[in-house]
Each structure stands twice: as C-alpha cells, then as structure tokens.
C-alpha cells in the first residue's frame, strides 16, 4: 500500500477516495497534541454525498465531558426538585415587569404629552371668578338671605366652623396635607376596593383634583379629562397653598339642593351660617359630597344621617375628635330640611332680586343690599298668618294669606307672600292682583271730600240705579238719610255709588294713582266697590298718606346697594316725598276711618291703647277678604283667600283678616308709646253749607246713563259689603226694572248739596 504526503501527516494511499471517487477525510484522534497517529476506526462510516467522517474522540476528553454532564444533571435535577425553578420564574417576571413598566411609562408619558398639548398654555391658566353673591341684609344688619348662582357668600377658612374642614379631609382626602395633588396610595386603595367589590364604590381623586374638575373641566368621565385633571391638580398645588386650595374647594363644591359652598349649604339645611355649624352638622355636610342630591337631608334625612355617622367615625380615626364628642354628635336628632328654602324672608329676597337689575344693571360682582325689613316683625307676621290659617283656615276654606306692613315713608317693614315659601314661591303680596272690594272706598270718599263734601254730609241710603246696574247693601236694607262717616263705617254700597256719580270715576282713579296705586283701573261706576285689580303692596302704601299727614309713601324695600368693599352703587331718595293730600282732607278721612274700627265693620281689629283706622274689603262670593289699616306708626294690609279663586265660607274683611291684623299690630307696637292719628284731636266736625238738596241737583259729571262702556250691565266681581256687625255678603246685582230705582242724572232719594272748598292742596296744584 503506498502513501502520500499531506499537510498534517501521511494519509494511507488506499484511503484517498471512496467508491464514488470522493475524498475521504480521516478523523483526527490522539490526546498528546503532537499530531499523533492517523487512523480510521472500523466503526467510522463514510457519509453519503461526501459527508465528512466524524472526528475520533479522545477517550479521556469524552470521559471528562460525561462527568461534567452528570454533575450538571445532578445539580439541575436537585434544584428542580427543591424549587430552584421558582427563582428563575421570579427573575423572568421581574424582568418582564421592568420591561412592561418602561413601556407603560412611555405610553403614559405619551398620553400626558398628547392631552397636555391640547390644553391652553399653562401661562394662561387662572382661577375662574366665583359667581357673584348678593347678600341681603335686614335693617339691623342681620342676613335675610344670599342670592346668586351659589346661594351663599364665600367664607374664609379661619372663619368657618373648624369641624367642617376636618370632616371633609377625614372622609374625602386623609393625606391632603402630605400629597402633591395626586395621592398614589389613595388611588391604589380605591382601585383595589373597586376590583374586590366588582363595582365603583370608592374614588381616588384628591380634593385638589376635585377642585380642578369643578373649576375647569366638564363632568364627563373620559381619559382626556382625567389626564387634564391631574395636570391641573399639579398646577394648583404649585401655585396655591394647601389652605387656599381647601378654602376654594369648600366655597365652591356642590352640597345638593341648589347650594354651592358651605355657607349656602349651612343656611339651606340648618338656617345658620357656616361659622356656627356644630360637629354633627359638619359631618352631615361632609357626607353630602359623595352624592349631594341623593343624600340631601331635604330628600332623604335618614340616608344623610347614616352617612354622617361614617364621617364621624373617620374623624375619630384621624384623631380630630374624641369619643365623648362623637357620642354627643350622634345623640342629636337627624336634620330634616324642607324641600326648598323656607321662611317668609325669602319672599323679600326674591323681591329684592327682581328690583336690583333695574337699579344698577347686571350683577357682575359681590353685592351687599341693605333693606328696610325688620326681621322681628317679619317673623311675627309669618307666625300670625300661619296660626290663623292653621286654626281657622281649614273650616273656613281659606288656604292662603299675605301681609305687607309699611311705615310713613313707604319703607316695607314686613312682607309675607304666602303661607309657606317652601311650598310656593309666588309672592301674593307684591305680584298677585286682586279686587280690593270695599277696601277701595276710602279713595272714593277722599275724592268726595276734595270737591267739598265732609264727613257730616248727608246722603240717602236708598235703591240706586246706574245704567243697568243696581247695587245693594249686604243686608238688603236701607237706612234713609245717613252721614258719610256712618256710610263709610258701615260700608254702604249705595252711598259709595252715589259719591262716584258726584265725583266722577275718572277723578277717583286720578286720586288713587296720586296716592300710590300704579295698576291700571277702569274709570266706571263699579270702581266704587273696588272692581279694578291691584296688589296688596300698592293698596297698603296708598293708605300711608292718611297715616303720615298727606305725603306720598312710595313702597320700597331696598335702602342701599353696595359692593363688597363698601362702594355705594345705589341709595334710595324717598326721604323727601311730595304732598298728595291736603292735611284737612287727611284729618277728616282719619276721623271717619277710626269709626270703622270703633263702630263699624272693623271692630275685630281694634287695638288696646292705640288709635287705629282702616277699612274692610270682601269680594264677590267671598273669594277675597282684606283688612287694611294703620296707626301713626305702621300701615298694614292683610289678605286671605285661595289661589284658585274658590269661595271661602263667608270669610269677610271684618272677620279673619281683621283678627290677624289685630294680632300682628299688637306685637308690632309692643313697647311703643301710643300716639294719636294725624288730625284726629282738637278738630271740630265740618258740615256742608245749605240744606237738603233736590235730587236733580246731583252732578251728573257728563255720564251717559245708556253707555255700557261707562256703566256695564253687570260689573264683574262686585264687592261684598260688610254690615254693621262685621259680617258681609256679596252684593246683589239686579235688573233696574226689578229694583225700580232712578237712573242718573235723576236723584237718589234726597241729597245734600254743598259748595266746593278751596283747600291748600287746590292752591298747590292749581285745582
């Protein structure tokens, strides 16, 4: 066998190629590294396709590898059996958590950048102005109400009850003073709680986040809004102190029942300032923040109280209160608020808000309004009406009442617009127009005095016909010749109708307007019985000139409007009123209307120790009953009736209203020294000149007896007429043919003529 040389040694010549002529590479063996012997094991096979034969393994090297493999296998099987794979799993989980965390941070950062870019530049961010509040004060400076979008003024953190911020922090954000606007621990706790409960039971927003949402964002729940909320919370924390953020939150957050801020909520639910809230009340307020509408004590007092108990527990856990304090708070009766603001003073507040825009324009800043209201009188007026309605209203079918009391300058000292403001906010004193009935007759008599008649003038109480209208007295009886003073005291319809014919309806309307009635009135004969509708406020204020000596008393409730810093924007100018009645006329009218209370239909209104005057009024079918009267101190009008116009059960002005008037005026004059009415002392009665005149001498004043425009066939809503004993009934309207009375300008029985006097008022007005 021949051999040949190769680079690594000598290959046997017989092994140079296989059957296919391919070269066969020998395996290299040996363990001494010197090139060793070259040999081919018999077990080596030639791979098809010319594969290289395997290299011969060194027995010693193979043994080492096998030994190492056995050792490695032994260790691996040992770890697998003893938990070594767990640590590998932990390492892999940690690795992937880090990876996912990095990618999550990148994703969150991207979202923050994206939604942040959609927001205005941070340099332009500013706290929105709180909606302006209007603080309405009584004459003595006490708060009547707050009005505006919030319903309450802003209160400094140091001024409000300390229990309020403590309660809110304990239940809403325990780490408020330590976090940076977002509370990761609170957020994680809320997420865990919600996951375990399977529903949304806890929120993770901080007070700063809630403030940011309330100030800048919509209430919709979106990812964009949440990201923006967090960014705004960071900005708030950087720009304001914790106390400033908490104060802004407490003065703007919604507490249910249209109350925004702690002051509005405190007055809404407890009728007191946030400065005076006790522990139990503070816990109730803080509890409302979770669900203001659902937990409102005006809607569900039990649920509100249950939530307040949780707040108290949280306050104890935080160390804000002691066990003894929590026992005291839990022993308090649950707060039961009415479904709406309650108290008659809110009728006043509504009236004020109606008038403010006309005085200063749109309200754009916080205002302080000083009013003329005496809260003591206001509360007494409300109590009197409520008591009368409670004790007598049911059996007499009277469901509503109103009252207004005015001093000699026209300042409204008390106003009640209805039985219960919480049930009905409609103001029946200043907005409802109703027929005054016989309470309008003083204007007819005053107009007659101005053309020369006197309280001692005599007229014939007999059937009278005006066009197709024939008014009758309540008792359908006629008294013959009576003085005007007697006729007014006993509210005789026939005499009032005659006086309107003498004076002229248009002149009666002019006098009523001059004294203070602003409503339009129809100048027809039926005005003698008060068929033109007026408000109780204007009717009462028109009686004030009789009280103050003849000066106009423009009704007003606002004295001054100022800004929060004291700048005066408006001040009324009713301190120099014009004279509207001659003092002699005032004196005569006062002496006549005093007799209404002493001898006539208003006996139930008499005041012990005080000289008082007034007039009763009852409208058709007992729909309305009024008494308007005055002393030298106050003029007060009271109305009873029903909103739907249903008939009362024979309620007259001399009955229920007169009794209520008496109760209120006794309380209003308590502690005051009695003084007489203007012109009622030391005055001798004045008689008309001449004797009984013929019927034909009655002035017709150009009336057209056949004109239905002047004398309607049946005036709508004729007034009821009180009899001498104070009872009343509805005027009966009968066809003239049945009554058989005369038609103007013919006489009505016999009348007293008289010459027209020239008075001081005539000289002043050119009359």
Quote helix, strand, coil % in the chain, to nearest 5. 40, 10, 45
Q: Are 314 and 171 in contact (CB under 8 A)?
A: yes
- 88 falls in which pLDDT band (50, 70, 90)? confident
153, 172, 345, 611: the catalytic one is 172
Question: Whole-angstrom Cα distance, residue 677 to residue 6?
Answer: 152
Token pair of 322, please?
């002691």
Establish how many alpha carbons lie within 13 A of residue 582's alpha carbon, considering only the half-sphere containing its beta carbon: 21
What angle in degrees, to the nearest 10, is found between the helix axes of 242-252 and 207-216? 50
Question: Whole-angstrom Cα distance, residue 403 to residue 128?
Answer: 42
Stretch 681-709: mean pLDDT, rounded?
Answer: 41
Determine how many CB atoms are found less than 10 A away from the CB of residue 261: 26
Q: Are 277 and 164 in contact (CB under 8 A)?
A: yes
DSSP state of 579: B
Q: Are 438 and 722 in contact (CB under 8 A)?
A: yes
For the stretch 141-146, contacts whose Cβ atoms lie closer than 8 Å and that sit 24 or more positions apart, written own/partner, are: 142/375, 143/267, 143/273, 144/345, 144/348, 144/349, 144/371, 144/373, 144/375, 145/267, 145/341, 145/345, 145/346, 145/348, 145/349, 146/263, 146/264, 146/267
* Average confidence score pLDDT of the chain: 80
Nearest to 537 by CA among 556, 560, 522: 556
DSSP state of 376: H
Stretch 147-158: mean pLDDT, rounded?
Answer: 90
Q: Percentage of the chain with pLDDT > 70?
A: 74
Stretch 374-400: mean pLDDT, rounded?
Answer: 97
What pLDDT is recorded for position 708? Answer: 30
Nearest to 465 by CA among 709, 713, 693, 699: 713
CA 429 to chain centre: 19
- 363 falls in which pLDDT band (50, 70, 90)? very high
**Higher-confidence position of 419 and 753:** 419
What pLDDT is recorded for position 203? Answer: 60
- 273 falls in which pLDDT band (50, 70, 90)? very high
Sequence-distant (6+) residues with CB within 8 A of 451 are 502, 503, 507, 756
Establish how many alpha carbons lie within 13 A of residue 122's alpha carbon, considering only the half-sphere containing its beta carbon: 11
Question: Of 12-26, 189-203, 555-569, where does the model show the most confidence?
Answer: 555-569
Helices (H), ranges, 271-339:
279-288, 301-317, 323-330
Question: Whole-angstrom Cα distance, residue 441 to residue 449?
Answer: 12
Nearest to 616 by CA among 760, 764, 438: 438
* Poorest-pLDDT segment among 351-355, 565-569, 728-732: 728-732
The answer to whether 60 is a known catalytic residue is no
Strand partners, 368: 135, 562
Token look-up 């103050």 returns 548
Nearest to 647 by CA among 626, 625, 617, 623: 623
Q: Are 631 and 547 in contact (CB under 8 A)?
A: yes
Stretch 174-198: mean pLDDT, rounded?
Answer: 78
Burial state string for 230-244 with b = 16 or more CB within 10 A and e = fewer than 16:
bbbbbbbbeebeeee
Q: Are 252 and 262 in contact (CB under 8 A)?
A: no
CA 110 to chain centre: 45
Sequence-distant (6+) residues with CB within 8 A of 711 are 466, 467, 468, 469, 524, 525, 703, 705
Would the pLDDT of 767 be above 80? no
Would the pLDDT of 140 be above 60? yes
Would the pLDDT of 200 be above 80? no
What pLDDT is recorded for position 639? Answer: 98
Burial state string for 676-688 with b = 16 or more CB within 10 A and e = fewer than 16:
ebbbbeeeeebeb
Token pair of 333, please?
């009766």
438, 491, 632, 723: the catalytic one is 438
Stretch 585-611: mean pLDDT, rounded?
Answer: 96
Q: Are 729 and 721 in contact (CB under 8 A)?
A: yes
Three-state SS sequence of 397-427 = CCCEEEEEEECCCCEEEEEECCCCCCCCCCC
Q: What are phi and psi of 693, to 5 degrees?
A: -90, 160
Cis peptide before 104 (omega within 30 of 0): no
Question: Whole-angstrom Cα distance, residue 308 to residue 329?
Answer: 10
Nearest to 712 by CA among 506, 526, 529: 526
Q: Are 352 and 558 in contact (CB under 8 A)?
A: yes
pLDDT digits (tens, 9 = 90+) for 514-554: 999 999 999 999 999 999 999 999 999 999 999 999 999 99
Stretch 151-174: mean pLDDT, rounded?
Answer: 94
The answer to whether 153 is a known catalytic residue is no
Strand-strand pairing, 751-752 and 692-693: antiparallel
Strands (E), 583-674: 613-618, 624-630, 635-641
Stretch 193-210: mean pLDDT, rounded?
Answer: 72
What pLDDT is recorded for position 105? Answer: 74
* Three-class DSSP category at 574: coil
* Three-class DSSP category at 22: coil
What pLDDT is recorded for position 334? Answer: 77
What pLDDT is recorded for position 226? Answer: 80
Q: What are phi and psi of 373, to 5 degrees?
A: -75, 135
Would the pLDDT of 609 be above 90? yes
Token look-up 């507490």 returns 255
What pLDDT is recorded for position 150? Answer: 83
Stretch 456-477: mean pLDDT, rounded?
Answer: 88
**Higher-confidence position of 3 and 220:** 220
What angle in degrees, to the nearest 10, is found between the helix axes of 163-172 and 242-252? 90
What pLDDT is recorded for position 205? Answer: 87
What pLDDT is recorded for position 61? Answer: 53
- 96 falls in which pLDDT band (50, 70, 90)? confident
**Higher-confidence position of 168 and 219:** 168
Query: Which contiguous run of DSSP H or E holds residue 103?
Result: helix 84-117
| CA-angle at 139, arms to 266 and 428, nearest 5° | 75
What pLDDT is recorded for position 336? Answer: 79
What pLDDT is recorded for position 307? Answer: 95
- 108 falls in which pLDDT band (50, 70, 90)? low
- 126 falls in which pLDDT band (50, 70, 90)? confident
């Amino acid at each position: 066998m021949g051999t040949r040389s190769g680079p690594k040694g000598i290959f046997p010549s017989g092994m140079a190629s296989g059957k296919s002529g391919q070269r066969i590479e020998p395996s290299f063996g040996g363990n001494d590294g010197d090139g060793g012997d070259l040999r081919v094991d018999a077990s080596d096979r030639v791979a098809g396709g010319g594969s290289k034969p395997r290299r011969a393994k060194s027995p010693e090297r193979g043994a080492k590898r096998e030994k190492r493999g056995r050792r490695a296998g032994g260790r691996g099987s040992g770890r697998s059996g003893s938990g070594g794979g767990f640590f590998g799993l932990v390492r892999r989980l940690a690795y992937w958590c880090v990876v996912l965390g990095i990618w999550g941070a990148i994703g969150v950062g991207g979202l923050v950048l994206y939604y942040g870019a959609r927001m205005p530049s941070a340099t332009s961010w500013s706290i929105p102005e709180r909606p302006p509040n209007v603080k309405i004060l009584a004459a003595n400076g006490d708060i009547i109400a707050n009005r505006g979008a919030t319903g309450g003024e802003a209160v400094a953190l140091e001024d409000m009850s300390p229990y309020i911020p403590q309660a809110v922090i304990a239940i809403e954000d325990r780490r408020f003073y330590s976090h940076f606007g977002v509370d990761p621990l609170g957020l994680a706790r809320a997420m865990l709680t919600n996951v375990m409960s399977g529903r949304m039971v806890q929120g993770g927003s901080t007070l700063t986040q809630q403030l940011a949402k309330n100030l800048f964002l919509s209430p919709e729940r979106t990812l964009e809004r949440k990201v923006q909320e967090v960014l705004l919370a960071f900005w708030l924390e950087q720009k304001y102190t914790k106390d400033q953020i908490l104060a802004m939150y407490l003065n703007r957050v919604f507490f249910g029942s249209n109350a925004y801020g702690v002051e509005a909520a405190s007055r809404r639910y407890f009728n007191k300032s946030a400065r005076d809230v006790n522990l139990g009340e503070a816990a109730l307020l803080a509890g409302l923040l979770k669900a203001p509408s659902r937990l409102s004590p005006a809607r569900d007092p039990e649920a509100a109280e249950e939530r307040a108990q949780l707040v108290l527990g949280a306050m104890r856990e935080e160390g804000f209160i002691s066990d003894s304090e929590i026992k005291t708070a839990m022993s308090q009766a649950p707060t039961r608020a009415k479904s709406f603001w309650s108290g008659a003073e809110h009728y006043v507040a509504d009236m004020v808000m109606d008038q403010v825009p006309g005085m200063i324009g749109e309200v754009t800043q916080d205002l302080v309004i000083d009013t003329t209201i005496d809260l003591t009188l206001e509360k007494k007026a409300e109590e009197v009406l409520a008591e009368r309605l409670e004790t007598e209203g049911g059996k007499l079918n009277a469901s509503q009442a109103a009252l207004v009391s005015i001093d000699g300058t026209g300042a409204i000292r008390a106003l009640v617009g209805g039985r219960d403001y919480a049930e009905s906010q409609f103001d029946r004193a200043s907005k409802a127009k109703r027929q005054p009935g016989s309470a309008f007759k003083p204007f007819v008599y005053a107009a007659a005095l101005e053309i020369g008649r006197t309280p001692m003038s005599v007229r014939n109480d007999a059937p009278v016909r005006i066009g197709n209208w024939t008014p009758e007295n309540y008792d359908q009886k006629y008294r013959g010749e009576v003085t005007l003073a007697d006729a007014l005291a006993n509210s005789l319809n026939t005499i009032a109708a005659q006086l309107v014919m003498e004076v002229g309806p248009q002149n009666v309307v002019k006098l009523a307007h001059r004294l203070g009635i602003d409503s339009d009135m129809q100048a027809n004969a039926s005005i003698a019985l008060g068929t033109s509708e007026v408000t109780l406020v204007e009717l009462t204020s028109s009686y004030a000139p009789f009280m103050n000596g003849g000066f106009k008393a423009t009704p007003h409730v606002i004295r001054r409007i100022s800004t929060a810093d004291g700048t005066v924007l408006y001040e009324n100018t009713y301190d120099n009123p014009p004279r509207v009645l001659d003092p002699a006329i005032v004196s005569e009218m006062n002496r006549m209307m005093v007799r209404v209370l002493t001898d006539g239909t208003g006996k139930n209104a008499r005041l012990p120790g005080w000289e008082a005057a007034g007039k009763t009024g009852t409208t058709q079918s007992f729909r309305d009953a009024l008494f308007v009267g005055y002393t030298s101190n106050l003029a007060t009008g009271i109305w009873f009736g029903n909103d739907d116009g249903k008939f009362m059960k024979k309620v007259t002005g001399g009955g229920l209203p007169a009794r209520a008037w008496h109760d209120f005026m006794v309380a209003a004059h308590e502690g005051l020294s009695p003084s007489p009415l203007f012109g009622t002392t030391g005055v001798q009665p004045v008689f008309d000149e001449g004797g009984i005149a013929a019927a034909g001498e009655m002035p017709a004043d150009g009336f057209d007896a056949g004109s239905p425009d002047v004398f309607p066939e049946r005036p709508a809503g004729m007034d009821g007429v009180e009899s001498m004993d104070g009872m009343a009934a509805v005027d009966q309207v009968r066809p003239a043919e049945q009554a058989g009375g005369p038609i103007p300008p013919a006489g009505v029985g016999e009348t007293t003529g008289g010459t027209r006097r020239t008075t001081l008022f005539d000289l002043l007005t050119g009359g």
